[in-house]
Structure 1
Amino acid sequence: MPVRRTQLACPVLEVAPRLLGRVLRRTTEEGTVAVRITEVEAYDGPNDPGSHAFRGETARNAVMFGPAGFLYVYFTYGMHYCMNVSVGPDGRPSAVLFRAGEVIEGVELARARRGTVAPVVEKFNSALPTKRRVRNPDWDLARGPARLCVALGISSREPNGTDLLSPKSAVRLLPGEGFDGVPSTGPRVGLREAADNPWRFWIPGDPTVSQYKPHVPKRRA
């Protein structure tokens, strides 16, 4: 059964864990890459100081204020793109951030897009001749929201506003096998406000889940 808009038009803390095990699939001229979602974060609009929509609607966050099931892409830290799906009733700006996943289709293309050597294998690579050095291990290809975007070839805000439930869309949210277990929960990553809310959900024991890093305030000189 396809993912239905009514399934996403529910409170964000109900929707977020249900997205585990679903599949994001993007097709471009380069080919197709699909990622099984293993980690997400919930953002509850006006009730959540950590949400982009906490202070109201802007041109940047407008997708969050519309119907459920649409892609919200934003640029962060001057270097990364991240992607979310709008959820909840129309007019209530909630969203779920896709934090990490397992590449299940188009692995070669995802490898080519990631390209650079992952930090976890740098030490190993330093002891090998150049021709024998390995690139990103496959479990690391979409391990984190920025890496997930790179693996899917999202390098601009151009896909922002895409209807993830339309068969005609280049980016789609598909049912996949789902996840029937009990998800792990914990604080969200890198937030200055409302960081302790346990609104991050992940498949326990899955190696593609990102490493937790709490926000560290910058010290003033």
Structure 2
Amino acid sequence: MTVNRTTVHLTTAGVAVPGQPSAPALEHRAGRPVAAVRDLRERAGHGPRALLFGPRDVVVVTGLPGSGKSTLMRRAVPGPRVDSQDTRDRWDARMPRALPYALYRPLVRLAHYAGLRRALRSGGGLVVHDCGTQSWVRAWLAREARRRGGTLHLVLLDVPAGTAEEGQRERGRAVSRYAFRRHRRTTSRLLRAVERGEPPAGCGSAVLLDRAAVDVLRRIDFTG
């Protein structure tokens, strides 16, 4: 499947993303459903204001550190969301300022995944922050989405590395150079795969956003 910039199903407010593998927007290859790819980049800020998903779907927002994932989720998600940054902020507020984050990072991660597990059990639509380096997390989310009768969707922020690094500086929190290189490699591989029409296994659709598309997006929500 080739990424198509011109056939996105638009309304005046946004894009209705297909929720189930039987949705008409999905193509089929060798008798198997192929995930739809919605490329909303290079629209000079004229992209949709909303992305709408099925009532039991799970939406993963991914991209480089500093690309604006948390900012987008706080602005555009009116319903349930799970963001690892929120978990870290809560722990940071309780810990002594002199205590390095590396010492309690494992506890933050455990708390994040425990909260994610609880949110998934609710059965409703959910938006999840994903750093993109842990493929097992997306596999877990895909299984959970199927178990509850929904579909996993990927929203990928395609932001230049320099812009992402500036975003880290603005928030006053940067990952190490080694970690950022690792994120760049994994995000680049993921982006290339999606551009070929090959989102990760288990994803029902993928949406590509550049900075201009992110800036105009105002709602990520669920129907029903």
TM-score, normalised by the number of residues in structure 1: 0.27
Q: Which has the higher strand share?
A: 1
Task: For CA contacts below 8 A with separation 6 or more, give which structure has more relative contact order.
Answer: 2
Q: Which has the higher helix share?
A: 2
TM-score, normalised by the number of residues in structure 2: 0.27
